[in-house]
Structures are given as C-alpha cells and as structure tokens.
Structure 1
Amino acid sequence: MARVRYLGPETVTVPELGRSVEPDEVVEVPDDRYEGYACQPGTWEAVEEPKQEESEPPPAAPKKTLAARPQKEG
C-alpha cells in the first residue's frame, strides 16, 4: 500500500479510509487510489508511492502494421 501525509489544518473524515485523519498524519491508501490523493498537493503529500511488482512486465508497445496499398482501377 502507498502512504500519504495529510496537510490540512484540521481533522478530516475520509470515508474511503473509514476513519478520521489528523493534520500531519501519515496514512496508508490503496495503491490503485494513490493518484487520487497525489493529485491534490495542497491537501496530501506523497510519502511512499505504490510499489511496482517485479513480476509485472512493462506494457508492450503497440504493434505497428503497414497500411494497405490502394487498389488500382482499370
């Protein structure tokens, strides 16, 4: 799980986590929801990004194919 720090001035309830979070508290968030917190730099600070699984290969590049030649009329 990833970790983020709450930067707000007062305690806030985070329904997704099922609890309240205090100012300057570091909390664990699901890896697949990390970006939802990281995209709010005024409220959350990234502490530990999601870990990439080593067994997961990088995404494959799209296969390039040649365009079909136009048919000749006549």
Structure 2
Amino acid sequence: MARVRFLGPEPVTVPELGGRTVEPDEVVEVPDSRFEGYVCQPANWESVEEPGAKASKKSAARPQKEEG
C-alpha cells in the first residue's frame, strides 16, 4: 500500500477509503493501483510513500552469509 498526506484546509470524506473522514495533514494508506489518482491532485495530496516502497526496502537488506 502507498501512503499520501492530505493537504486540504478542512476534513474531507473519501468514499474510496470506505467513507472515511481524512483530516488536514493526515497520512493515509491507499491502494498502489490508485496512488496516481491522489498525487495527480498536488493541491490536495502529496506522496509520502510510493507504491512498492516497502518491497524495495526488504530487497535492500544485506544478503545472508553463506557458510562454507
């Protein structure tokens, strides 16, 4: 899941998030497939964590040492 921050001045209800009310400056998780639908509205939303960011953090871990 991607994460975005709401930049608006007043709380909004987001039907796509199950009718949840999102407060100003609140960070919410959104489906990766819908991330672009939020960040294409820069007056209202900003990216906090792009789609796939958690997966890339896992792959950045050091490889295990092989015994031998």
Is the TM value for this pair above 0.5?
yes
Aligned-pair identity in percent equals 76
Q: Please list every run of 5 or more consecutive structure 1 residues that lacks an aligned counterpart in the other structure.
A: 55-74
TM-score (normalizing by structure 2)? 0.75
The answer to whether structure 1 residue 21 and structure 2 residue 22 are counterparts is yes
Q: Which runs of 4+ in 1 moved over 4 A?
A: none
Q: Please list every run of 5 or more consecutive structure 2 residues that lacks an aligned counterpart in the other structure.
A: 57-68
Answer 1 or 2: higher relative contact order, Cα 8 Å, separation at least 6.
2
Question: Partner amino acid for 1:31?
Answer: D
TM-score (normalizing by structure 1)? 0.69
From the CA coordinates, give the structure whose radius of gyration is larger: 1
Question: Partner amino acid for 1:35?
Answer: E
Aligned length: 54
Across the aligned residues of Structure 1 and Structure 2, the Cα RMSD in angstroms comes to 1.4
CA distance in 1, matches of 2:29, 2:21: 13
Q: CA deviation at 1:7?
A: 0.2
Q: Deviations over 1:20-53 (max 9, x none)?
A: 0000000000000000001000000000000076
CA distance in 1, matches of 2:43, 2:3: 16
